[in-house]
Amino acid sequence: MVRGEPPGTRSIVAYSWARRLALDYRPSKECDGNGTYGTTLNTFKLADEKWLETIPGQLFLYSAHLDLRVAGYPSLRVIGVKRGPLPTSGLFCTVWYEEEEARGRAVSVEALVSTIWLDEWGETVDSYAGILVGCQLPPDAAIEPSRVYVGLEPCHQDASHSLAIKTGEERNGTEGRRRQFTLCIKGLDFDEDISAKIVAFVELHRILGAEHFYFYVFNVHENVLRVLRLYERSNVIRWFNLTLPGDLPNEKTARRRLLAEDIWTKRRMELIPYNHCFYDNLHRSEFVLPIDVDEAIVPIRRHNWHELLLDERIKLGRSFKDFASYAVRNVYFFPELQLQTRNQTDRPTFQWIDSNATGLDYLDTIRTACISPEGDSVKSFVSTRRALTVHNHYALTTLNPSTRRAHHFDPDDVLKHHHRACDDRHLDCEVMMEDVRVDESATRYADELKRRMRLFFNDLKAFA
């Protein structure tokens, strides 16, 4: 007898999904005389603000994205931050459409708000916390929306105080096709020159299969900005200046102090760029991968991620699509473990960077024998078709309630190499460093990585 799903399981799941959509549906109403008639919506611009504050001191909007994944239920997804509890009377989305002859039309719909966090991780009642606002669009709308506002009143009057929405022509990117992998890198905040490390990170992951990168920047050395700008010119990366909302500090020293002392605010605010990256690539990439610059996802039996995921699709069969993310377990390559006699002459040097900091820690070979348990310190390929919100480790919530959040790869197939100093506050360093392994899985990329780095720095010198 072949084991399978109990009779009726799929029909129950289908009913549950349809029931959820029906419960979430909110009818829209036309807004008459709201100040958009006869006015060109393109003239409405947000005056260099990083956040759109719609409820003073309480609600801050970051970005808005069109979500067409569920047939018949077009939605806007607005990423924002709330402080404390939002008013119990509810919130409303005002959505503007730009119609022919530049005449504006607006509709209003009740907003559906969910917190980008799990309750078991800690209370957020009086704290800053990320939110995802859902705005249900009319199912028969022939014209895509242009701008959106989320606030206390329906039919908001001031379209100049709103967020621009991604248009349909931006969905597939410049290549006109869907990429497979886009990497999301949270806010960089480094005074030191880590430009070579950024180049090594980008080039190694391009070898592995990454096609595009989203970098978010608090504060970095000028050489790092030079690297980001050159990559941006060739459409390898997009990068964004990042700020904190409300009265959270954005002066460098005060911000660093806050994020070092208030770890929960730090973790909640990290989810804003990750979810922006996810929704900005919703129709552009098959997977996004939230990752840090001291990490690398390295296959063991395969050469790249495409082959790795293909194997996993074959292994899981139809159940591959039952998951919203595919998690890779963690091992540490502590610098304290690396051989003191490591040959530095094999490392490329460049005139304008420290020859001892060329970013090739990714080729280290001594790691902890201990592999993190499932769910702990993992990083995941997150499906843009099946996730709803993203955590830095895996999909946080799923689009379809029947979809499972995460599937874990076998550690014999792939590991996340974590290149960081051991921290006694969070890790039992003495015990972890007693049992180590030689792991040369990344060294097969060494020649190609060094070649790519030399080419990039030659180009960088040419554009200096």
Domain boundary among 134, 153, 170: 170
Which pLDDT value is given to residue 141?
Answer: 66
Please check whether residue 4 lies inside any domain of the structure.
no
184 shares a domain with 155: no
| Reported pTM | 0.89
Q: Helix (H, G, I), strand (E, B), or coil: what is residue 432?
A: helix
Domain boundary among 170, 202, 225: 170
How far is the C-alpha of 113 from the C-alpha of 66, rounded, in Å? 16
Q: What angle do CA 66, 45, 176 make, to 5 degrees?
A: 40
Domain boundary among 129, 152, 170: 170
Which pLDDT value is given to residue 266?
Answer: 94
196 shares a domain with 159: no
303 shares a domain with 231: yes
Please check whether residue 424 lies inside any domain of the structure.
yes
274 shares a domain with 395: yes
Residue type, 104: G
228 shares a domain with 345: yes
354 shares a domain with 275: yes
Please check whether residue 1 lies inside any domain of the structure.
no
Rama region for 8: left / alpha / beta (φ>0; ψ in -120 to 50; rest): left
Q: Which residues does 39 contact at the CB level (< 8 Å), separation at least 6?
A: 102, 103, 104, 159
388 shares a domain with 270: yes
254 shares a domain with 126: no
Number of domains the chain contains:
2
Which pLDDT value is given to residue 173?
Answer: 47
Which pLDDT value is given to residue 91?
Answer: 94
Give bridge partners of residue 325 from the DSSP assignment. Answer: 382
Which pLDDT value is given to residue 350?
Answer: 41
For residue 215, which of 290, 107, 134 has the smallest C-alpha distance? 290
3-class DSSP string for 9-31: HHHHHHHHHHHHHHHHCCCCEEE
Please check whether residue 2 lies inside any domain of the structure.
no
Scan for tokens 């502590």, then name that residue: 334
162 shares a domain with 60: yes
> What is the mean pLDDT, run by run of 10 residues, along the chain of 464 residues?
38 55 73 55 48 95 94 92 87 87 78 88 79 90 87 92 76 67 97 96 98 97 96 96 96 96 93 97 96 97 97 97 97 84 44 49 93 93 97 94 95 96 86 91 96 94 78
Contact 430, 336 (CB under 8 A): no
Question: Whole domain around residue 118: which residue ranges?
Answer: 9-170
Which pLDDT value is given to residue 425?
Answer: 82
198 shares a domain with 158: no
404 shares a domain with 323: yes
CATH of residue 422's domain is: 3.90.550
Residue type, 59: L
Contact 145, 165 (CB under 8 A): yes
Please check whether residue 3 lies inside any domain of the structure.
no
Q: In this structure, how many other beta carbons lie within 10 angstroms of the beta carbon of residue 240?
A: 16
203 shares a domain with 76: no
Please check whether residue 110 lies inside any domain of the structure.
yes
CB contact burial 290-320 (16+ within 10 A = b; e otherwise): bbbbbbbbbbeeeeebeebbebbeeeeeeee
Q: How do 128-136 and 112-115 pair as beta strands?
A: antiparallel
Please check whether residue 199 lies inside any domain of the structure.
yes
Please check whether residue 106 lies inside any domain of the structure.
yes
